[in-house]
Each structure stands twice: as structure tokens, then as C-alpha cells.
Amino acid sequence: MAEHPQVSDFIAYLRLKNLSPGTIAGYQGALKRLFVHTGLGQSAPSQITTAQLRDYIASLLERNLAANTVRNEVLVIKRFFGFLLAEGYMEEDPSPGIPLPKVGKRLPKALTIPQVQILFATMSARTATGRRDQMFFRLVYACGLRIGEAVRLRVENINWEESWLRVVGKGNKERRVYLKPYLVADLRAYVEENGLEGYLFPGGAGHITVRNMGRQLKKYAEKAGLPRHITPHALRHSIAVHYLIGGAPISFVQGLLGHESLETTGVYTRLVDQMAKEITLNTRTAVDGIESKSLREGTGFYAPGFEAWDAFVSDVLEWLGRPLSDE
């Protein structure tokens, strides 16, 4: 069924849109599942009806699939039939009557700066594998790389004089990511030590695999006492959040990550807000636990033991050469 001219034209259209091979394969899989369910046989996909589409979506929901999974299937269907309508294969699109399942907005998982530091500390620089992994994940983090982008990095992607890295992202779109001086120095040492000329991270298939590096990160996360479900993509999320917390413009983060839409990058601002809320609620401050009555009566701050704090402050100021003021 995947060889039907209508499907072939649709796949060719997706390739022209510069979608990745993995994304296109996902579209093909979704359409194949639809065709099998409808028993299309030798009929043209344009003959599928709204009733058949509704029946198919109902079958997915009956299997208790995740709402996001069903939503993705519906989106593929809508895009496919929208294409058939635009190309004149059909006079009426059967998919508008198919509702999109509602899914909750999931915030990306991000690590704190100390967590990232602990993670990197578990990657021993005393072994060749440890040095490779440390270099790999530092680039993923510092440059906000997708893991698929990182495994395909080549030595010629590096501009040593101007300290930037050329990254080839989704749809073969390129972006330039600048490197901090220490990272350039470490990267140069890594390249020279290993005598690299092609891929920065070589492997059996030319370059190291995405799956291999995913397994490596899980191992380091477990060793660092972090959740084992941490993926390389969490490092990409983390640098985005860390830059925003540090005051970087969202347009900078958009360029760093290679997002086409600023709306895509905007999800990180919600994560920053969530982290700010959690910090506010979970960090103890001087006024926590003080009742309004205590404040009105002028008590509460000077609880038993406060004199010890006074003495500590006095000792610190004396050590700094500044006497405790009476003012």
C-alpha cells in the first residue's frame, strides 16, 4: 500500500519540506497502520471516509494508548488528506471531523547547574572512553545539541580561529554555535590526542551511535545519584534554562537550539517560571514561620538562640576588619 502513487507523492512532498528520514518513516508507519485497519486493499487512499477514520481513532483509544501517541496519528492523517485535497486527488477532505485528543502541556526535563556538574564529574578523564564521553556530553550541553547532531559532528565543522562550531540540524539546516575559550582548548586537545580527521566521535558505523551514547549517559546518571531516565536531550533542555535564568534573550536561546519558531523556545520560559516558584516555596528565608501577631508585637525575630547569630556576625565583621556598628 505504501507504493500507491498518492502515498509516493505525499512522501516526495515531505522530502521537499526537508523533514528528517526518521520523521518521514514515522509518517509512513502511521499511514500503513491506517490502511491495514481500513482494509484498503487496492483502493486509493482518497476513498477513505470520515466514518472509517473515526473508527480507526476509536480503535486506538480503546487500546489505551497515550493521548500524545493518538494525537500524532491524527496529525499525520490530517496532513496526508490535506495534501490529497490540495493536489486534486479528492474533492472533500474526510479528516476535519476528526478531533485532536487533548494532551497536557509537558515541560521539558532540565537539570540544575550543580546536577550537571556532578554528572560531568563522574566521567573519568583517566580513560579514553571517559575522555570521549566527557567531551561529547559537554558539547551537547554547552552547544544545546540534539544527540543526532552531536554524533555526526566532524572536525571540519570547527572554526578554530573564530571559536565556533557548525551544526547541521533537522532538514539539513545549519547554524553556528560559539564556544567558550576553555572548551575550544579542550576540544583541540581531544582532536590532537586521538588524531581525528573525520568524525569527532568515530564508531563502527563511521560515527558513534545515538543508542550507545544514551546508554552511557544513563550509566553516568546512576553513578552520580541522578534519575536514570535522564537522556542526552535533558542536557539540551538544561542549557536553555540556564541561559534564560542567567538573563540571556530568548532569541539567543532560539538560535542556539536551532528552533524555527520562537513559540517552540517559549516552553523554556515556563520551565524557568516553574523553577522560580519551586525555589521560592522550598527555600527557607528569615521570615518563614513568623506569625503576623509576632510581627505586630515586635517579637519573633529575637527568638532564643538569636544571640549566637549576633555573635557570629560580629566575629565575621571583626575578621574582615570592620567593627560591628551600633547604628
Q: Which residues are catalytic?
A: 146, 170, 233, 236, 259, 268
Residues forming beta bridges with residue 167, ordered by sequence position: 175
Buried b / exposed e over 10-40, threshold 16 CB at 10 Å, is: bbeebeeeebeeeeeeebbebbeebbeebeb
Residue owning grid cell 546508554: 215
Query: How far is residue 169's CA from residue 167's CA, in Å, rounded to a whole number?
Result: 6
Per-residue exposure over 78-90, b if at least 16 CB sit within 10 Å of its own CB, e if not: bbbbebbbeeebb
DSSP 98-110: SPPPP---PPPP-
**Residue length of the chain:** 327
Q: What share of the chain is helix, strand, coil (3-state, %, to 5)?
A: 60, 5, 35
Give the DSSP H/E element, type plus range, for residue 114: helix 113-121
* 3-state secondary structure at position 228: coil
